[in-house]
Structure 1
Amino acid sequence: MSSLIRKLEHFARLSEADRAILDRAGSERVRKFGPRVDIAREGDRPKDVHLVLSGWACRYKQLEDGRRQVVSFFLPGDLCDLNIFILREMDHSIGTITSVNIADLSREFFDEISTRYPRIIAALWWESLVNAAIQREWTMNLGQRTASERMAHLLCELFFRLRVAGLTHEDSCEFPLTQADLADATGLSKVHVNRTLQELRSTGLIVLKGKTLVVPNLERLMNAGLFNANYLHLEREGRQLDAND
C-alpha cells in the first residue's frame, strides 16, 4: 500500500487516519497471481476494485484471432478501474506480467471513505484524471510518433511513474517487459521493436541488463521521445494542503 500512499501524496498530504485506513484495506483481502495469467477477463462481472500491491500487470483487448493490444500498464500502487462498480461486465481484460499481489477493495470500502475521508477521495479523483490523461497520450503515441519516439516516450513514462511510487534507484528501475509486451503496447512488430531498442541502445539513451532498465541521461531520452511530463500532473498545488484543511 505504501506505493499508493506515496503516489496520492503527490496530490494531498494525507493524515495518519487516511494512511491507516488505506493500509487496512491493502492487507485484508490479498490475492497472489503468477506471471502471465488473467486477473479479470472481458465479460466478467466486476465485484471489486483491484489494487496492485506488487508486480506488473496490464490492461488489454484481444481479437478472436489472438491479436492483442495492451492499452495500459499497471505498476505497484495502481488501481485497476476505480469506477468499475457502475459496469455490468468487463469490457477488457487485466493480465499479469510478473507475479502480482492484488488487494481487492470492496464497494463498502469506497462508501466508507466517501463519507469519512474526503482527502482520500480528492486524491483518488486526481489519480483517475491522470489515468485518463495517460490514455490520451498513448493515443498520440500510436497515431503520431515515430517508432523510436514511441518507444522512448513509453520508457520515460514508465520511469516517471515508477519514480513517483518510490520504485527507482537513481537512474535504474525494474523492467520485466518483453519485446512482445512492448510490441503489443506500441503497435509495432516484434522485429521493429528489436530494431528500435537497438537504436536506443546504440545511441546511449538506454541500457537494458536482464530485467533492469538504466537511463543514463533522462533528459536526453525525454528529448528523443518528445516527452513532456505535464500530463502526469506531478506538481499540484493541492499537494501542499494539510489533510485536515
Structure 2
Amino acid sequence: MLAFSELTDADRRAIDALLDQRQRVIAPRRDVVAEGEVPRFAHFVLEGWGCHYRQLSDGRRLMLSLLLPGDLFDPHPQAVVRTDHAVGTITAMTVAEVAPDALDALGREHRAIARALWWNSHVVMGTQREWIASLGLRSARERIALLFCEVYFRLRTIGRCTGATCEFPLTQADLAEATGLTPVHVNRMVQELRRDGLIEWGGRTLTILDLDRLCAVASFTPAYLHLDRAVPVG
C-alpha cells in the first residue's frame, strides 16, 4: 500500500502506530479469513505470502489473487455481512488486524494515506480483471509467464528483489490453482520457459533471465499494476 503515495514521516508514524496495536501470526496453509465468516477487521500483510481463493464443495479450488508483503485486504469489512470467499496463507504470514473505524479515521486525518488506500483498491481490482482476462484469453504458457512477471514487478516495487531474482515460495500446485491449469500442465509450461532461457526457478527463488522476452510471451504490460504511481518500471 505504501508504494502508491508519497507519505510524510508523520503519515508513516501514524500507520506504524495503527499496525502495532494488534498483530497475528498464521501458520502456512491456514485460513486467515474463512468463507462465510463475519468480517471484523481490515488486514495488512506485514510478512509472508497468501491468497484470496474460492473452493467448491468437492474440493476444487481457484486462487483469485496473490497477497504479498505490504498488501491490504478486506479494507471495508463493515460493508458485508459474511465473506463470499476465503483468504489463506501460503507461507507463514504476519498480519495486522485494524478496526475499520480506526482505518477510516486514519484516512480522514492523513490525505496521503487516503490516496494510498484508494490506489491500493484500484490495483486490486485491476489485478483481478487481468487474471480473469488470462483465464479467458491467454494460453497456458502465457498464463504462467504472466504470473512470473506480475510477482516480479510487484516485489520490485517494494524493494524485495535482488537484481533479477526474487522470492517465490509457490509450488507447482499453487501455480495450477492460480492459473486454472493442472499441475502436470504447469510443469510442462515451466520446463518450456526454462528451456527457452527465460527463467530459473528453484529453492523458493525465481530469477528472470530475460525480462523483455518473458513479458512478450505473457503479453504483459504493468499498466494494471499502476506502477506509474510508485516507481519507474524500466
TM-score (ref. length: structure 2): 0.95
The match for 2:147 among 154, 157, 164 is 154
Q: Please name the residue that 2:24 is paired with.
A: 31
d(CA) in 2 for partners of 1:129, 1:115: 19
Aligned counterparts, 1:80-229, within 5 A:
80-229=73-222
CA distance in 1, matches of 2:107, 2:170: 36
Which residue of structure 2 lines up, in the alignment, with residue 62 of structure 1?
A: 55
Distance 1:54 1:169 in 2: 18
Q: Select the residue among 7, 15, 21 that pairs with 2:14.
A: 21
Counterpart-to-counterpart distance in 2, 1:89 and 1:173:
35
Distance 1:226 1:150 in 2: 9
Whole-Å separation in 2 of the counterparts to 1:114 and 1:37: 30
The alignment partner of 2:216 has SS state of helix
Contact 2:24 2:96 in 1 (8 A): yes
Cα RMSD after superposing both structures: 1.3
**CA separation in 2, counterparts of 1:140 and 1:128?**
19
Higher mean C-alpha deviation, range 68-77 or range 212-221:
212-221
Structure 1 residue ranges without an equivalent (≥5): 240-245
Q: Which structure carries more relative contact order (alpha carbon 8 Å, separation 6+)? A: 1
Distance, in Å, in 2 between the alignment partners of 1:107 and 1:228 is: 33
Deviation at 1:35, TM superposition (A): 0.5
CA distance, structure 2, for counterparts of residue 114 and residue 58 of structure 1:
25
Which has the higher mean CA deviation after the structures are superposed, 220-229 or 110-119? 110-119
How many residue pairs get aligned? The number is: 231
- Large movers: runs of 4+ above 6 Å: none
SS at match of 1:208: strand
- State TM-score, norm by structure 1: 0.91
CA contact (8 A) 2:167 2:206 kept: yes
Aligned identity (percent) is 46
* 1:44 alignment partner AA: E
Q: CA deviation at 1:105?
A: 1.1
Q: 2:44 corresponds to which residue?
A: 51
CA-CA distance at 1:231 after TM superposition: 1.1
CA positional deviation for 1:59: 0.5
Aligned equivalents of 1:134, 1:77: Cα separation in 2: 16
- The one-letter amino acid of 1:125's match is W
Give the SS at the match of 2:58. coil
Deviation at 1:230, TM superposition (A): 1.0
Cα separation, 2, equivalents of 1:231 and 1:184: 21
For residue 122 of structure 1, report the CA deviation from its aligned partner: 1.3
